[in-house]
Structure 1
Amino acid sequence: MNNKNMFVDTISAINVNNGIVKMNLVAQSSEQPITDDNNPPKFDDLGQITMPLNGFLYMLSVIEGLMKDDKMKDMIQRFQTAGIIPTEQEIKKAQDK
C-alpha cells in the first residue's frame, strides 16, 4: 500500500460518472508572489482522488457530523470573524451576483 500524506488547499472539481467520484486536488502555486493581491490565486494540480459513490457519500456523512460538532462550529466562527473564510451572508451575496 502506498501511504502518501499531502497538503492541499482545496478541491477544484468533483466529477461523477457511472458511480465513480473523482476529486481534483490543488494547492496555491508557490510561483505566485504572496503580495500579488490584484490577481486571483493560481493553483497547482496535485492529483486526483478516485472513489466509489458509496465511499463519497459516507465521507459526506462524516463531514456532516463534523459540522455539527461544537468545537468545529466555534472554529468556523473564529475564522469568519478573522476574515479567513466567508460568512454565510457573504457566500449568499456572491451567489446572487
Structure 2
Amino acid sequence: MTITPSSEHLPADFSRRFGLRPALSMREIEVLLAWIDSDSKTEAGRRLFISQGTINTHLSRIREKYAAVGRPATTKAALVARALQDALIDIDDL
C-alpha cells in the first residue's frame, strides 16, 4: 500500500523545492515567454502570428498545469515567478 500525503501536509514550497514542474509543451513555453516579453496578449499574438484567443487558451492550459503540480499561478506576475523558478527565463531577461 502506498501512502501519498495530501497537499495540506506538505510544506508550501514542496513542489518547487523537489522539482515538481508542469510538463509544458514547447509551444506553451514559446507563448509564455512571448507574453512575458510583451506589453499585451495582442502584441504577443502578433509576434507569434496567432490570435489573442489562442494566447488565452495557451495561458489557461499553462495555469492549469501549474495548479496541477501544486504551484498555482493566477496572475502574470505569478507566471513570471514560475518561469524564473523553472529557469525558463533569467532575471536579466526582464
TM-score normalized with structure 2 length: 0.30
TM-score normalized with structure 1 length: 0.30
Query: Which is higher, the Rg of structure 1 or of structure 2?
Result: 1
Greater share of strand residues, 1 or 2?
1
Greater share of helix residues, 1 or 2?
2
| Larger relative contact order, structure 1 or 2 (CA cutoff 8 Å, min sep 6) | 2
